[in-house]
Amino acid sequence: MVPTKKSDRLIGFLGILQALLLIWFAQIVIDDAIELQDDMTTINNNFKDEMGCDESSDDQDCADVVADLTGWIDGVKSDIVIWQALYAFAGIASVVFLLISIRLMTGTEMLLNSLFTNQNRSLFFYTTIFLTILGYLMGMFEASMVNSMLDGMVELFEKWDLAIGETPPKATPMNAGNGGLWVIVSGLFLAINGLIGLLTRGPINGTETAVPAETGAVPAEIREPSEGTQLDELLPPK
């Protein structure tokens, strides 16, 4: 066990709340991705039924329209698979962060004991920073996915001579979807925990290291003299 301060227990508790929130958030996004894939498949099938043809139809114009839409939907579904995998990885990272938060709060190094021995607080903040950066990277991918989807849709409308109205603005990592919200949540917890950590820096009673429960050592004040002890060593100084 590593000595823990009250501030470490508080930071660890807030970290547990953050980890649980991120795990729940990642699960929601994964469920949305699965549902969106099903919706894309339904749209494709319904469009073929309404057009009354497919890619192999004798009506070349109808077949071209169906092929264009199918190609666009396949591209979107491919991006959704990557999007789903990113949030699955983020969920796993959040589970690891949960263990790190428990380790900081309790002072035990039985969890992830090969990482940052006796540096629970450092490991906690490094992981929080990693999660914040990961959220921004996910936001970048979401922005790229949304922009690619919209560009493909605009190309299809122009090819079919359909009016698209005003071109939608380009998405950015912070407003494209869930990545921006992930960054805000992680950054907020990082700021709160960082402020607590900054105000409570320093060792515990002058030491940062763990003290074993039983070392076998006996304080000099109560140590009994051994056979080789000289009498002069037991006398008070003059």
What rounded mean pLDDT belongs to the chain?
80
Residue 215's pLDDT band (boundaries 50, 70, 90)? very low
Domain count, the chain: 1
In a domain, 236, yes or no: no
Residue 87 within any structural domain of the chain: yes
**Alpha-carbon span 83 to 91, nearest angstrom:** 12
pLDDT tens by residue, 179-210: 999 999 999 999 999 999 999 887 665 444 44
The answer as to whether 118 is a domain residue is yes
Amino acid letter for position 50: E
Higher pLDDT, 133 or 234: 133
Where is mean pLDDT largest: 92-101, 110-119, 149-158, 196-205? 92-101
Range of the domain at 158: 6-207
pTM of the model: 0.76
**What percent of the chain shows pLDDT beyond 90?**
41
Does residue 122 fall inside a structural domain? yes
pLDDT over 60 at 128, yes or no: yes
Query: Predicted confidence band at 34 (pLDDT cuts at 50, 70, 90)?
Result: very high
Residue 203 counted as domain residue: yes
Considering the domain boundaries, does residue 233 fall inside one?
A: no
Phi and psi torsions of 218, nearest 5°: -120, 130
Give domain status of residue 45, yes or no: yes
Which residues, 6+ apart, have CB-to-CB distance to 145 below 8 Å? Answer: 79, 80, 82, 83, 176
Tokens of 227: 């056979």
Q: Could you tell me if 95 and 59 are in contact, meaning their C-beta atoms sit under 8 angstroms apart?
A: no
Question: Per-residue pLDDT for 94 more than 90?
Answer: yes
d(CA 95, CA 89): 10
Distance CA 193, CA 125 (A): 8
* 207 DSSP β-pair partners: 204
Query: What confidence category does residue 112 fall into, taking pLDDT thresholds of 50, 70 and 90?
Result: low
Residue-level pLDDT at 206: 43
Asked if 83 and 145 count as a contact pair (C-beta separation under 8 A), the reply is yes
For residue 135, what are the CA distances in angstroms to 86, 102, 177, 230?
10, 22, 11, 68
- 68: in domain: yes
Q: How confident is the model at residue 173 (pLDDT cuts 50, 70, 90)?
A: confident
